[in-house]
Amino acid sequence: MDNKTLILVVDDDPDLVEAISMKLESENYRVAKAYDGIQAWDRIRQERPNLIILDVMMPNKNGYQVCDELKKDPQYSNITVVLLTAVGESVTSTKYTHMDGKTALADEFIPKPIDLDSLMEIVKDYTR
């Protein structure tokens, strides 16, 4: 398995970050962690992850903002973003998720509660 692939996990709940990280590490990914939007940007600049698992609801800059800035920046726009959407929707199937009427151009959306197995499937698909 490719051990050069770096995944950045961003969520304000350290327990969730740890759980996702353990799962990723068990699949031989390298993992970086951040707990809010600002920290996320620090990690992105310093470590240039291949893929970001990004929570939406976070203090100090939410996931939509991070995603929006990243996808608009040619330096980083090729990084895959998997958004964890938890804003009240119990079922989300498609990609037109709105917040404040805007559409975020993430590569993938996963509704919370997260099914770790499907998350791994998606990560594998994008990092193959």
Residues that bind other proteins (CB under 8 A): 13, 15-16, 18-20, 22-23, 26, 57, 86, 88-94, 96-98, 101, 112-114, 116-117
Smallest gap from Cβ 58 to other proteins, in A, equals 11
| Sheet hosting strand 6-10, strand order edge to edge | 30-34, 6-10, 51-55, 80-85, 108-111
Smallest gap from Cβ 116 to other proteins, in A, equals 5
C-beta closer to other proteins: residue 74 or 101 = 101
C-beta closer to other proteins: residue 35 or 70 = 35
Q: Write down how long the chain is.
A: 128
The dihedral of CA 77, 27, 55, 40: what is its sign? negative
Smallest gap from Cβ 77 to other proteins, in A, equals 25
C-beta closer to other proteins: residue 53 or 81 = 53
Contacting residues for 30 by C-beta, under 8 A, at least 6 apart: 3, 4, 5, 6, 7
C-beta closer to other proteins: residue 92 or 127 = 92
Smallest gap from Cβ 107 to other proteins, in A, equals 18
Report the alpha-carbon distance of residue 99 to residue 83 in Å, rounded: 13
